[in-house]
Amino acid sequence: MLARRIAQRYTRALFSLAQEHGTVARWEGELATLTSVLAASPELPQVLAHPEIPLASKLAVLERVFAGKLAPEILALVRLLITRGHEPDMETIHAIYVEEWNAARRILPVEVVSAVPLSEAQAQALTEQLTRKTGATIRLERSVDPALIAGLVLRIGDRVIDASARGALDGLRDAMRGTPTYA
């Protein structure tokens, strides 16, 4: 699997090129297509990453499957990854590309997990409050986990804000046991 740091380097270069060409949205769609084709055909990533298959054969398979369906720059990126011996982890590259695009548009995805479904009014109030605090356009991704008992957990990037009853009870239990809590 391609290390995230390496994937970021390649993806940022691709994103910068897309901005220069005005093709950011189109290339995001093509990366999504590429990712879904690779996910739908488990044999294809195995062939592209197999150490005993000659590079020329891998590139020929790549051309047959994707020629005319992807921008030449995206196809060139996949060729480069294969040539350099990196397994083409297009899911990671696609995810980083979307992160870059969201950052450029000041869109902040926020995952909110609540004990019960949030009403539209609650979701709207939470979105407005987060928009005021961050200055970004908030895109809420809602899910429900009854194990939280009450309250909610927010995930904003790699930051987690646990305002759930389960989190409070776990913190209390850890305090009583003398176990450090890292919430």
Computed over every residue of the chain, the mean pLDDT equals: 89
Residue 107 to residue 173: CA distance in whole angstroms:
37
* Residues belonging to the chain: 183
- End-of-domain residue from the set 65, 85, 102: 102
- End-of-domain residue from the set 54, 78, 102: 102
Residue 11 token pair: 């993806």
pLDDT reported for residue 171:
82
What are the helix (H) ranges across 85-154?
90-104, 120-134
44 with 124, same domain?
no
CATH value at residue 16:
1.10.520.20
Domain range for 133:
107-177
pTM for the whole thing? 0.74
- End-of-domain residue from the set 84, 102, 120: 102
Number of domains the chain contains: 2
* Residue 183 pLDDT exceeds 70: no
What's phi and psi for 27, nearest 5 deg? Answer: -70, -30
**Is residue 36 situated within a structural domain?**
yes
Q: Indicate if the alpha-carbon torsion angle 51, 57, 59, 63 is positive or negative.
A: negative
* pLDDT single digits (tens) 61-78: 989 998 888 999 999 999
36 with 66, same domain?
yes
pLDDT reported for residue 21:
95
**Is residue 182 situated within a structural domain?**
no
Contacts of 110 (CB under 8 A, 6+ apart): 130, 138, 139, 140, 141, 154, 155, 156
98 with 115, same domain?
no
